[in-house]
């Protein structure tokens, strides 16, 4: 046997030697010279040499075969180890038992898992907001004030919007970007009033009205017929229950101040002629919308749809507003500058000795802190984690219910089967 040769494989060399000896065991050729050999003996010797030559390759191939066998054995060992790690072994089909109760539990489980999957998908697609705060660094900008209010007991001809701020700027009867809509007793729109002519008449004569109430008659004589006709129309409108809706936008300086809606734009003598005293000025109002910038998703303005109706004596309403500068950043990186606010309310009733006229005041101040609200989306890994938890928990729960129901039904049906057999 040659080195490296398998013990199972025959050595071809003895076979070749047997072919090259005679019947007495003597070799057919004693000399290496080809001239001393007969043709038969020469052919036999050549065959021996050939067989000796070709006997080596099988020895090499047998070593390769052994290495392949070892590799296959290693692979089979690894596969067996992997099979031992299988946490979900499969049973043969004939060993499985399907029941109606299991089908009911499976259908219910599938419905629950589908519902929870849609819920988790909706939760993943939706965005959530993150709030951040920082010092407000804005300077030199204006503050937009959007108002939309109704006064059911005051005609448009006597109402005015006035504004004053800490810088000393005072504007009376603002008409830029402010509109007035006439309302009937039912609150329906019956006409539009852009600028009250009666208020303008009161301003033109206001510089001449520094006399006392004892000199009212000489002062009133200075009003022309047009103003007197307007006063009669206003009285008739009040008698008919006409109201007014005021809406528009005020652009004020970004400093603390106030704006108010009242009859302060009228001359004091004109107001006395129309209302016959401050206590008869009914400032009942409905705030449909009050904001300090565009609205963003989730913003709630606390004064929207506020109703303040006075059944008896009149008075002055004061709303103290704290404005918080806000930036809303959408998921698309678009930034919306706006403001949100908080408010406290105070009402001061009138009495017969008060010399002030009722009004609706909005006193505002700005916070030095700005709030940034950013939209963000949940990560995909978070969605996968929640989905696996929900679906896996539902699957495990339905499996427990199936086992409990099977055992319960088995406990109930077995005694009955035994009784029937008896």
Q: What is the pLDDT of residues 188-229, one digit of tens each?
A: 888 765 444 455 444 444 333 333 333 333 344 455 677 777
> pLDDT, tens digit, for every residue of 302-359?
999 999 998 877 889 999 999 999 999 998 888 999 999 999 999 988 877 777 889 9
How confident is the model at residue 339, as a pLDDT? 94
Mean pLDDT computed over 96-108: 79
Per-residue DSSP letters for 102-154?
HHHHHHHHHHHHHHHHHHHHHHHHSEEEEEEEEE----S-EEEEEEEEEETTS
CA distance 416 to 418: 5
Q: What is the pLDDT of residue 62?
A: 59
Residues 287 and 146 sit within 8 Å (Cβ to Cβ) = no
Name the more confident of 67 and 282.
282
Look up residue 35 and give its DSSP letter: G
Tokens of residue 60, six digits: 């090499």
Going by pLDDT thresholds of 50, 70 and 90, the confidence category of residue 420 is low
In the block, residue with structure tokens 């070799």: 27
Q: Are 45 and 33 in contact (CB under 8 A)?
A: no
Query: 59: buried, middle or exposed (CB in 10 Å: 19+, 13-18, 0-12)?
Result: middle
| Mean predicted confidence (pLDDT) in 17-45 | 50
φ, ψ of residue 150 to 5 degrees: the values are: -125, 140
Q: What is the mean pLDDT of residues 355-365?
A: 91
- Mean pLDDT, the chain, rounded, equals 77
Mean pLDDT of 156-164: 87
Q: Which pTM was predicted?
A: 0.63
Helix (H) or strand (E) holding 247, with range, is strand 243-253
């Amino acid at each position: 046997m040659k080195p490296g040769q398998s013990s199972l494989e025959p050595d071809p060399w003895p076979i070749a030697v047997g072919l090259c000896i005679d019947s007495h065991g003597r070799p057919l050729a004693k000399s290496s010279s080809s001239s001393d050999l007969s043709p038969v003996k020469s052919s036999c010797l050549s065959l021996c040499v050939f067989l000796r030559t070709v006997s080596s390759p099988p020895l090499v191939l047998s070593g390769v075969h052994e290495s392949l066998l070892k590799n296959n054995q290693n692979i089979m060992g690894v596969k067996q180890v992997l099979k031992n790690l299988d946490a979900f072994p499969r049973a043969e089909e004939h060993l499985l038992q399907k029941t109606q109760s299991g089908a009911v539990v499976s259908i219910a489980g599938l419905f629950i898992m589908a519902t929870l999957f849609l819920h988790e998908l909706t939760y993943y697609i939706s965005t959530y907001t993150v709030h951040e705060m920082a010092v407000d660094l804005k300077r030199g900008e204006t503050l937009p004030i959007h108002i939309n209010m109704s006064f059911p007991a005051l005609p448009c001809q006597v109402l005015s919007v006035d504004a004053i701020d800490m810088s000393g700027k005072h504007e009376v009867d603002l008409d830029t970007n402010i509109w007035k809509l006439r309302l009937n007793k039912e609150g329906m729109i019956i006409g539009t009033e852009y600028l009250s002519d009666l208020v303008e008449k009161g301003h033109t004569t206001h510089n001449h009205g520094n006399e006392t109430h004892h000199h009212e008659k000489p002062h009133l004589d200075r009003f022309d017929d047009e103003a007197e006709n307007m006063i009669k129309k206003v009285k008739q409108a009040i008698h008919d229950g006409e109201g007014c809706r005021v809406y528009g936008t005020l652009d004020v300086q970004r400093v603390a101040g106030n704006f108010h809606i009242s009859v302060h734009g009228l001359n004091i003598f004109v107001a006395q002629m129309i209302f016959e005293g401050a206590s008869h000025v009914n400032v009942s109002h409905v705030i449909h919308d009050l904001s300090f910038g565009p609205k963003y998703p989730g913003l709630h303005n606390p004064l929207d749809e506020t109703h303040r109706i006075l059944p008896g004596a009149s008075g002055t309403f004061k709303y103290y507003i704290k404005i918080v500068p806000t930036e809303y950043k959408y998921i698309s990186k678009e930034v919306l500058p706006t403001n949100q606010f908080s408010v406290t309310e105070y009402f001061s009733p009138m009495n017969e000795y008060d010399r002030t006229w009722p009004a609706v005041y909005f006193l505002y101040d700005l916070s030095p802190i700005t709030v940034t609200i950013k939209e963000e989306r949940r990560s995909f890994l978070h969605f996968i984690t929640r989905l696996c938890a929900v679906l896996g928990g539902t699957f495990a729960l339905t499996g427990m219910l199936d086992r409990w129901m099977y055992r319960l039904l088995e406990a109930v049906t077995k005694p009955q089967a035994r009784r029937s057999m008896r």
